[in-house]
Amino acid sequence: MKAKAGDLVFLYNSEKARFLVTYQPGKRVSTHLGEIVLPDDLEYGAAVRSSTGAVFYVLMPSTSDIAMKVRRTTTIIYPKDAGWMILEAGIGSGSKVIEVGSGSGSLTIMLARIVGPEGRVYSFERREKFLENARENVKRAGLLDRVEFALRDPAVEGFGVEDVEAVFVDVPEPWTMVPPAFEALTGGGAWISLSPNIEQVKETWRTLKSHGFVRFKAVEILEREILVREHGVRPRERMISHTGYIVSARKVNIPPEEASEIVEN
Amino acid sequence: MKAKAGDLVFLYNSEKARFLVTYQPGKRVSTHLGEIVLPDDLEYGAAVRSSTGAVFYVLMPSTSDIAMKVRRTTTIIYPKDAGWMILEAGIGSGSKVIEVGSGSGSLTIMLARIVGPEGRVYSFERREKFLENARENVKRAGLLDRVEFALRDPAVEGFGVEDVEAVFVDVPEPWTMVPPAFEALTGGGAWISLSPNIEQVKETWRTLKSHGFVRFKAVEILEREILVREHGVRPRERMISHTGYIVSARKVNIPPEEASEIVEN
Amino acid sequence: MKAKAGDLVFLYNSEKARFLVTYQPGKRVSTHLGEIVLPDDLEYGAAVRSSTGAVFYVLMPSTSDIAMKVRRTTTIIYPKDAGWMILEAGIGSGSKVIEVGSGSGSLTIMLARIVGPEGRVYSFERREKFLENARENVKRAGLLDRVEFALRDPAVEGFGVEDVEAVFVDVPEPWTMVPPAFEALTGGGAWISLSPNIEQVKETWRTLKSHGFVRFKAVEILEREILVREHGVRPRERMISHTGYIVSARKVNIPPEEASEIVEN
Amino acid sequence: MKAKAGDLVFLYNSEKARFLVTYQPGKRVSTHLGEIVLPDDLEYGAAVRSSTGAVFYVLMPSTSDIAMKVRRTTTIIYPKDAGWMILEAGIGSGSKVIEVGSGSGSLTIMLARIVGPEGRVYSFERREKFLENARENVKRAGLLDRVEFALRDPAVEGFGVEDVEAVFVDVPEPWTMVPPAFEALTGGGAWISLSPNIEQVKETWRTLKSHGFVRFKAVEILEREILVREHGVRPRERMISHTGYIVSARKVNIPPEEASEIVEN
């Protein structure tokens, strides 16, 4: 398969020399291993050499690569967490989902890749600078056609969208998004939030319970890298050991007081 | 949103009483909490009562629910692993992917949900009984339109498919799939395999290295459940602590010997 | 080395057939693999056969074995946690320490083994039945010479002991033990508590901070078993994933208000 | 309690300013927070001020502190691992144990603290520079009275010691120590080794199995730090995720061939 002008391509020499660039024929890319000139005809899987002779492979970036390589103005959501969230929310091609806040757009990109051109991601952010950065990151990933950004605080103004399948929440006070999420979700739809602290998990759980959500879960996902070498295999010595706790729940159309009677842990 | 005849719906009372059923108006579902009669008009998010008065919520099953609730004739791939694999492979709506073996169809279902109606999952299995069970599970999930099953050992006969974006491998000797995967993958495409034992990871890595694959990674994903109760929050006392190691790599169009010269860990 | 009458010996056939018994020449031990008659002359490392021909090795029980094999009337403290606690407390041969509550005596046994005949473990418990069971377990382990049990609630009555090097706390409200622990500890001595819930950790931390303790730490210790087989090495599929959080701190001889000014996380 | 000249004391301001020093009245200690002059009369738990006014608490160092603060010429064994190893070996006050190699002396110190003045640690090292550094570290910890160092390769020359309760092995090829460990151990005594790579675990297991050891275990111990703050509790974002796998087994006095018949995993 050939790269088209505008495609994001991943130039890969090693984990320490890898670059995510937008392809244009003749484009020059400066790296610490010399300059790379992208040819007019660029085949995925091919190798190009930099001016110093270093070999770079032309790879299709994975969704994880694009999400991790956004320009960061905030902490980002990691693929290990996003993968679980996406399958738990049950979304796929054609889904309509909400995200709040946009952050640096890393989750936006992963959601946009999954819902596809037939789907829709409504992404809310109340800080203009962050929203602009997120939009730039999504645009660079070529996914802007399926994402609508809104500068707004949904805790105050609501989401203004209806019948979405899932609401993804990554704000410091996720519980403030429970009432607007209840309004925006279709019956049986999914609440998914991510928070670093236990107190946030507990307060979110309390609020969900008292607002007609059921099937509460809280999990933590850990990713451990394994070093594979001929002389010995072992886990890497250091790892990112905490990003956040994921909370999920489902909206139901019944009065909260009834819900709290019925549902237990 | 209303359920349509043939939809999979998730009848949820609690984690200990939850049922994945195919909706038909008037259908009777027997449970240990009594019989449920599904009404003619079924709204997602509604609650139905069983003959003993137990309340069941009508939820849209998540992708994880469907994948975990397949009829199992083999061990299955868990959402915690599949989520990471999907984002690492970079697949989304419209992707064309290979899976081997079909197993019980749990990964098939997750892939099919992600590639959507425009995409394609080619699922290979060499044991007929397993293939039939996987097909039944995928059919029940309503995803058969985008999945093609083939009874075949690709280590011997090849995949017979070209230009796929990713090959997902879950067989006891994953390294035997490296040559056919190389043939089937588009340049820069993704190898993703999952194996329980370290020896399998090492042999797969060796074979990938000598067959023109680069950017090798091996990871392990752990999912830890957190119990949230008013009187105390803590991780659950027991967990599934190992399912398998995930191996990923990328195909490149250059002679293996050159690749092995250039790429190191 | 030979076993002496009264020694605890570990009769080991496999992880599923292993028995901790008090040695007496001629003693009969009934097992699901038949009866074992202990010979008059019993060498550690020897093998004895049961009436059904099963081989049992005569091992010296490890401290972990004895601690895990106590008769349990409560949850017990695991060696993975106790090992960390002992080294963090800095205790060794000859140390004088407090424990509250006695529970089933598993930590008591590990502490008693470490402080040795020259040391002293003061073990407090307010429920008589538990204390009696703990004492029986310690007696059976042959360690009663260095342990003093007291039936008492130290939150109300204090410990009545001075200049101990460390206080080990395993009660539901550990913060209630902070004032008596401050009284009992020597300057610079160690507070070590273990609690399952995050809320307990936080309340203990708050109380320690306001009572002249410094150098607060909280950790969690995970033990993962690895299965080693000729055909494949991997972690076991299930594990105990949570026992409790360990909290440690050090007593200092200065007014709390000064302490809280100086010390930060 | 008062510090005596020659005591190791731990001067603690915060986790970022903490010093392990040998106490002498009037001694001057230079730190990045100014100079501290140790008074003639030094009470544990007291606070001293540096020339810049920073407060340092005078704490008794824990065993963990001393082990972690050795001058390192090698990687060291961590308290999370040593604690488990000590309780699994079953050693305590008065025990006679072997260690190979001495490394930087961190495990030597932990073992010496546990076996006490009545016990004995035989520490073997074949690289003179390392042995000298380990000896210095043990001497500084005030524990040299119970440790005997030997410059020797026990794989070639044997340990020359008999009837020890446990052999602790931390060398790159632990399996080479199995025959001399079998000679040195008392019946039923403990083999404990620590290795970073899976291949080392497997080879050690094979060798132990064919040399009359039983009750093989392999575990990995993980220590996770919890950050406790008024505004939020969570695990620290990064951790040391791998130090090594611990292998334990027990020596039995029967021919290997019989052992291998009887014992399974």
Q: pLDDT tens-digit profile of B233-252?
A: 999 999 999 999 999 999 99
Is residue C218 within 8 A of residue C191, CB to CB? The reply is no
* C222–D219 C-beta distance less than 8 A: no
How close B135 comes to chain A (CA, Å)? 20
The owner of tokens 């094979």 is D206
Q: A57: which chain B residues are within 8 Å (Cβ-Cβ)?
A: 188, 214-215, 250, 252, 254
Q: Is C226–D205 a contact, with Cβ atoms under 8 angstroms apart?
A: no
Query: Quick check: B59 and A191 in contact, CB under 8 A?
Result: no
pTM (predicted TM-score): 0.95
Percentage of chain B lying above the pLDDT 70 cut: 96
**Which of D58, D55, D81 has its CA nearest to residue D68?**
D81
Nearest to B234 among C196, C232, C236 (CB): C196
C-beta of residue B114 within 8 angstroms of C-beta of residue B86: yes
DSSP 8-state assignment for residue B142: T
pLDDT in 10s for each residue of chain C, 265 residues:
899 999 999 999 998 999 999 999 999 999 999 999 999 999 999 999 999 999 999 999 999 999 999 999 999 999 999 999 999 999 999 999 999 999 999 999 999 999 999 999 999 999 999 999 999 999 999 999 999 999 999 999 999 999 999 999 999 999 999 999 999 999 999 999 999 999 999 999 999 999 989 999 999 999 999 999 999 999 999 999 999 999 999 999 875 456 444 444 3
| Residues of chain A scoring pLDDT < 50 | 256, 259-260, 262-265
| Reported ipTM | 0.95
Measured between CA atoms, the residue of chain A closest to residue D236 is A242
Contact D37, D27 (CB under 8 A): yes
Alpha helices in A46-188 (DSSP H): 63-68, 79-89, 106-115, 128-140, 154-157, 178-184
A 134-153 residues inside an 8 A Cβ radius of B: none
Cβ contacts of A234 on chain D, cutoff 8 Å = 196-198, 242
Please check whether residue A204 is in contact with residue A244, taking contact to mean a CB–CB distance below 8 angstroms: no
Confirm if D73 and D32 have CB atoms less than 8 A apart: no
Which residues are CB-neighbours of D212 under 8 A, at least 6 positions away? Answer: D182, D251, D252, D253, D254, D255, D256, D259
* Interface check C16 vs B, CB under 8 A: no
b (16+ CB within 10 A) / e for C152-165:
bbbbeeebebeebb
Task: Supply the pLDDT for residue A234.
Answer: 97
CB contact at 8 A, D115 and D146: yes
The residues of chain D scoring below 50 in pLDDT are 256, 259-265
Which A residues, 163 through 222, put their C-beta within 8 Å of a C-beta on chain D? 196-200
Distances D13 to B41, B215, C25, C214, D47 between C-alpha atoms, Å: 69, 45, 58, 9, 9
Verify whether the Cβ–Cβ distance A90 to B64 is below 8 Å.
yes
- Chain D contacts of A233, Cβ < 8 Å? 197-199
pLDDT at B257: 53
pLDDT in tens, A93-103: 999 999 999 99
pLDDT attached to residue C207? 97
Q: What residues of B are in contact with residue C197 (Cβ under 8 Å)?
A: 231-234
How far apart are the CA of C139 and the nearest CA of chain D, in angstroms? 17
Q: Are B250 and A59 inside 8 Å of each other by CB?
A: yes
For residue D18 the two structure tokens come to: 């903490």
**Look-up of token digits 């979110």:** A204
* Yes or no, beta carbons of D64 and C87 under 8 Å apart: yes
- Angle CA C89–C93–C94, to nearest 5: 95
Confidence of residue B260 (pLDDT cuts 50, 70, 90): very low
Determine if the peptide bond prior to D101 is cis (ω within 30°). yes
Tokens of D249: 């087994």
